[in-house]
Amino acid sequence: MKKEQKALLAELKSVYAEVEAQALPRQCEMRTGCCHFRQTGKTPIVTRIEALLAAQGVRASGRKKLTPHPEGACPLLGKDGRCTIYAHRPFGCRTHFCGPAGGPYPRQHVVGLIHRMEALDEQLGWHDGSRPFEAALADALQEW
Ligand code: SF4
C-alpha cells in the first residue's frame, strides 16, 4: 500500500472515531435488519476510501473475494448474524439505524464528516463520487 493511501485511511479512521464521539441516542439491538439489502431495498453508498478500508477488513478476515449472501443481504454479514468487518464497516453502517432503533442520523448532524470523506477521495484522485457498497468493495478488493 502506498504511503499516501495509508495516511488517508488513518484520516478516515479519525472520521469514524468522530462519529462515535458524536453518537446520538439510539437503541440498536443488533438485529441486522439494515444489513438485509434485498429486504430493505437499500444499500449503503460509500466513498472510495471507505471501500478501501472495508477491503482491508475483508483481507484481515482471511478472505480474498466476496461470496454473495444467499438471502441477498450484505456479503459481509456472517452466518452468526454479525458483521464480519465490524471495525472496518462503512460510515453508513455507523449512522443508519432502523425506525425502531431511532432512525438514521439527520444529515445535518453528519454532513461535515461526509464532506471530509469526499475530500479524501479527491486526494486519492477519485472524482466519480460515492457508489453502492457492494460494487465499490468488489473493485477495491481487486485493487488491494
Ligand atoms: S458492512 Fe457489516 S454492518 Fe454494514 S451492512 Fe455489511 S454486515 Fe451490515
pLDDT value, residue 99: 93
Model pTM?
0.95
CA–centroid distance, 48 to ligand 1, in Å, is: 16
Beta-sheet strands, E only, within the chain = 45-46, 131-132
pLDDT value, residue 17: 98
CA–centroid distance, 30 to ligand 1, in Å, is: 11
Q: Which atom of ligand 1 is nearest to the CA of 89?
A: 1
Residue 2 or residue 4, greater confidence: 4
Residue 2 CB: number of other CB atoms within 10 A?
8
Tell me the C-alpha distance between 60 and 15, whole Å.
21
Closest Cα to atom 4, ligand 1: which residue?
Answer: 93
Residue 2 amino acid letter: K
| Phi, psi dihedrals of residue 132, rounded to the nearest 5° | -60, 140
